Amino acid sequence: MTTLACPHEEMLHMWNSKMQKLILMAAIVSLSGCRDERVTSLEKRVENLEQAFQKLEAQQNKSADEDAARRAKLESCVSEANAEFQSSAGRNGTRQANGTYNIPLPLLEQMQRQRQAKIEECRLLYSK
């Protein structure tokens, strides 16, 4: 070891020595291609989670589409039941001046039961 005359020179020499070691270490690390394996593992986990999320999102969209289609079929079926009731009222009743129909009570009750049965059938077919 060399002797230095000034304490500042000794600190400067120590600092230069530490700096050289740090530069050498940085060069070795960069040349060796050091890669933390945890990063690769995390990247794979993130990719898997993204794929799972996309799959769930697609399933949710499909389910929403199926629900909308089922609801449309239910509404259409109920509309058909009501239209059939109105048609039956026109065939079996006497139209009044105010636009209503005069239908014998037993026949009206039968028509209402038929309409209600058709609506229940619609619910069974198209409700969840």
Tokens of 52: 């799972």
* Number of domains composing the chain: 1
Domain-located, residue 24: no
Write down the pLDDT at residue 4.
Answer: 47
Domain-located, residue 23: no
Domain-located, residue 128: yes
Task: Yes or no: say if 116 and 84 are a contact pair by the CB < 8 Å rule.
Answer: no
Domain-located, residue 34: no
Domain-located, residue 67: yes
Domain-located, residue 69: yes
Ramachandran category for residue 99: left, alpha or beta (phi over 0 → left; psi -120 to 50 → alpha): left
Write down the pLDDT at residue 127.
Answer: 87
Domain-located, residue 56: yes
CA distance 99 to 102: 10
Per-residue pLDDT of the chain (128 residues; tens, 9 = 90+): 455 455 666 666 666 666 666 676 666 656 555 566 777 888 899 999 999 999 999 999 999 999 999 999 999 999 999 999 999 999 999 989 998 889 999 999 999 999 999 999 999 999 87
Write down the pLDDT at residue 41.
Answer: 86
